Amino acid sequence: MALGLTTARLVLRPLAAADVEALQTLTDDPAITGAISFLSEQFTLADARALIASSGGDDLFRGCRLKSDDTLIGVVGRHRRGTGGFEIGYWIGSRFAGRGYASEAARAVRDEIGAEHPGIAIFAECRPDNRASWRVLEKLGFRPTGEPGERPGRVTLRFEG
């Protein structure tokens, strides 16, 4: 696994201790904490430190940064899902939403997993009412499985590429 990935507009690299304040500022937003079940309603510096500390190996959170100035605009993760595959997830700061960054980052991670583990299942979970995220996943080739997600109120989608 390459720790850093580059897309047309983004650099994706593992979150590090130096990112604590930027991660806290970016993520402490009701639009994000309300959509991501494992984030605290008020995302604190301690929460940011804990998220960074939990990241590594097959459970990796990468910061999504603008190539132009290294601004942290979001987070994309890849996580082992039992022995049956990987799950991807992401969030983009409200200030940067609607510009295709989530699709760009998630595509890079989806492609990375597929290259490393040909044929492995790649999943995502999404609330059906989260239309923006649902559109991102559909655009990337994910389709609903008909199964509930592991998190409350989520539906499981699988990459069909």
**pLDDT in single tens digits along all 161 residues of the chain:** 567 899 999 999 999 999 999 999 999 999 999 888 889 999 999 999 999 999 988 889 999 999 999 999 999 999 998 778 999 999 999 999 999 999 999 999 999 999 999 999 999 999 999 999 999 999 999 999 999 888 888 999 999 97
Chain center to CA of 88: 6
pLDDT of residue 152: 84
How many domains is the chain partitioned into structurally?
1
How far is the C-alpha of 135 from the C-alpha of 139, rounded, in Å?
A: 6
pLDDT of residue 84: 80
pLDDT of residue 64: 98
Scanning the structure block, which residue is given the tokens 């494992």?
A: 38
Specify if 116 maps to a domain: yes
pLDDT of residue 52: 96
Specify if 130 maps to a domain: yes
How far is the C-alpha of 27 from the C-alpha of 47, rounded, in Å?
A: 10
Enclosing domain of residue 78 = 5-15+62-159
Specify if 37 maps to a domain: no
Specify if 40 maps to a domain: no
Specify if 87 maps to a domain: yes
Over its C-alpha atoms, the chain yields an Rg (Å, rounded) of 15
Q: How many helices (H) and strands (E) does the chain have?
A: 5, 8
120 φ, ψ (degrees, to nearest 5): -75, 150
SS3 content of the chain, % helix, strand, coil (to 5): 30, 30, 35
DSSP 3-state assignment of 131? Answer: helix
CATH number at residue 141: 3.40.630.30
